[in-house]
Amino acid sequence: MAEGNDWVLRRHVITPAFSPLHFKALESLMVDSTKGMLDKWVLQINSGNQEIDVEKEITVVGGEIIAKASFGMSYQNNFLGLLLQENNVEGRQGKTLSTQQLVDECKTFFFGGHDTTALAITWSLMLLARHQDWQNQLREEIREVVGDNELSDINTLAALKKMEWVMNEVLRLYSPAPNIQRQARENIQVVDFIVPKGTNLWIDVVVMHHDRALWGKDVNEFKPERFKDDAHGGCEHKMRYLPFGFGGRMCIGRNLTFLEYKVVLTLILSRFSFTLSTTYCHSPSVLLTLRPTHGLPLMMHLL
């Protein structure tokens, strides 16, 4: 993990790559990849098999999207090309990333962006399958906001407010990144305790997101409306809702996650309704990320 000035340099070089100016091209590839997946679903359903393991499917298409975003498209628009472009700006006076550092950043972008976004979508589909009222509400919002238009305007997706509430609630209940690690760079006093310099700290996000004292008696219920008028969902402490970390190291790709989440979910809800398969076994497990142990088989129905 990069620290100190090394981290500052890396963040300075990679930040321009996540500018909304580059999201237009990314949105198009997200749409194309997702439509390819959904077309295969249609063929499977028409062949008489309505059960689809969407966790597997979403993970594959998420990998395709992040691979194209990392190394595909045009040189000016993929992540590696943008890094090289920013890294070669004149006047840096030696403040550039080495080849190994560039490779490391691409690896972080691929593995960090691929799994967590796919899991956020997967858990959303599970909860929407269980809560048909919210599935219907999102579908109606899509009809009102997007209509029959193509997904080509990021501002249109930004207007999907209920979908934002659902995403925030999913990230609270099933945070794909279940813990955060930090190291004390100096002695830190916390109330009457001293955390010695060099102490490794493990912050359990899942526990905080399910703390009844912070969220109330309905902490374990799926209630997206808690985020309607509060970005922190009514949590008693704003630093206890941490889907993307906190501070200077907050996930730099969070806006890209929002974009992919809305694109994929909008396209799915526009073409299908779905319920949980009787073969689904609810068993979340932590393997670096929080994922369904036995996949997510859904019964898909064409609209």
Residue 31 has pLDDT above 60, yes or no: yes
pLDDT classification of 146: cutoffs 50, 70, 90: very high
Residue 83's domain is classified under what CATH number? 1.10.630.10
- pLDDT for 24 equals 77
Other beta carbons less than 10 A from residue 57's beta carbon? 19
Q: Which domain holds residue 229?
A: 4-302
- pTM of the complete model beyond 0.95: no
Contact 167, 120 (CB under 8 A): yes
For 163, the token pair is 């979908």
pLDDT tens digits along 221-271: 999 999 999 988 988 887 888 888 776 667 777 888 899 999 999 999 999
Count of domains observed in the chain = 1
Q: Annotation-wise, does 281 bind a ligand? A: no
